[in-house]
């Protein structure tokens, strides 16, 4: 819901809500400074009920640390962290655009699938950003071991400039994080998780490849892969169902592209 009166937090003026997720709400904001300086940013404000939970506070701060290590045009960077009277906020570059999830909703309403040429352009950006995270190293040259673990249409931002960017490293795995997910604990969206992630096992870069493969399948075929009421039902289907090859659902999809997706969503990592 849009705020009637902008709220000031530190040097940031929060205007209206852009999106809301499990850990926080993202607002369009302006950063102000000396000599009339003014810049649009996106501010992620942690939900108040989570701010009292040390585990979620660690996850929120880890998101900032992981994203700040990445330098790639296909990743939305975190540029500041604000602690205002115990309230935590992450400040990110503002990118004008919409989530891929909203693009898919619009395509379904029009009953027109996303053209495969457009889908390929979106995913070349997403794959480049994901690869940069997998290969990221710290100042000493040590690989950070980043795995996003939550790649889905909700976390891909299709920009008005024609470029796609990755959002939300809130549950990413990385070496040296304060918070590490406990063994057997599963976080993320079940429909897009690799089998090993659904089973609570340690994941590596291949889990992100699977998630992007599932997402691209949905974009090309024009429907959800698994749409059951509970995560448990989705998990059973994801672990046991072999998806139709995209070119079999839409003959105009090039066979070479279809084969890439079939390989990406293979149950065996």
Identify the residue whose tokens are 């794959």. Answer: 127
Catalytic residue among 150, 161, 168, 231: 150
Determine contact, residues 26/18, Cβ cutoff 8 Å.
Answer: yes
Active site residue 93: no
Would you call 134 helix, strand, or coil by DSSP? helix
Nearest CA among 191, 103, 195 for reference residue 151 = 191
154 φ, ψ (degrees, to nearest 5): -70, -30
Using CA atoms, how far apart are residues 232 and 244, in angstroms rounded to an integer?
A: 22
What burial class does residue 204 get, using C-beta atoms within 10 Å of its C-beta: 0-12 exposed, 13-18 middle, 19+ buried? middle
Q: How far is CA 37 from CA 31, 40, 199, in A?
A: 8, 11, 50
Q: How far is CA 150 from CA 44, 46, 63, 80, 165, in A?
A: 17, 18, 12, 22, 14
What are the E-state strand segments in the chain? Answer: 7-9, 12-20, 24-32, 38-46, 78-84, 87-93, 97-99, 156-159, 164-166
141 φ, ψ (degrees, to nearest 5): 90, 0
User: What positions carry a catalytic annotation?
Assistant: 150
């Amino acid at each position: 819901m849009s705020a009637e009166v902008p709220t000031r937090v530190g040097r940031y003026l929060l205007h209206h809500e852009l999106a809301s997720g499990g850990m926080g709400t993202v607002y369009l904001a302006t950063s102000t400074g000396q000599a009339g300086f003014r810049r649009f940013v996106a501010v992620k404000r942690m939900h108040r009920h989570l701010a009292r939970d040390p585990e979620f506070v660690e996850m929120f701060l880890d998101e900032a640390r992981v994203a700040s290590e990445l330098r790639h045009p296909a990743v939305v960077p975190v540029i500041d962290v604000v602690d205002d009277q115990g309230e935590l906020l992450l400040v990110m570059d503002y990118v004008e655009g919409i989530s891929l999830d909203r693009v898919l909703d619009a395509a379904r309403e029009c009953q027109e699938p996303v053209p495969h040429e457009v889908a390929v352009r979106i995913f070349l950006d997403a794959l480049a950003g994901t690869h940069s995270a997998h290969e990221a190293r710290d100042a000493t040259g040590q690989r950070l071991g980043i795995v996003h673990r939550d790649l889905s249409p909700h976390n891909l931002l299709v920009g008005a400039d024609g470029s796609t960017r990755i959002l939300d490293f809130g549950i990413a795995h990385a070496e040296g994080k304060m918070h590490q997910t406990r063994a057997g604990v599963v976080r993320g969206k079940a429909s897009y998780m690799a089998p090993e992630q659904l089973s609570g096992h340690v994941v590596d870069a291949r889990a992100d490849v699977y998630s992007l493969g599932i997402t691209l399948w949905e974009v090309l075929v024009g429907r959800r892969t698994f749409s059951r009421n509970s995560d448990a039902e989705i998990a059973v289907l994801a672990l046991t169902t072999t998806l139709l090859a995209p070119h079999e659902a839409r003959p105009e999809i090039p066979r070479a592209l279809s084969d890439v997706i079939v390989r990406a969503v293979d149950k065996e990592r």
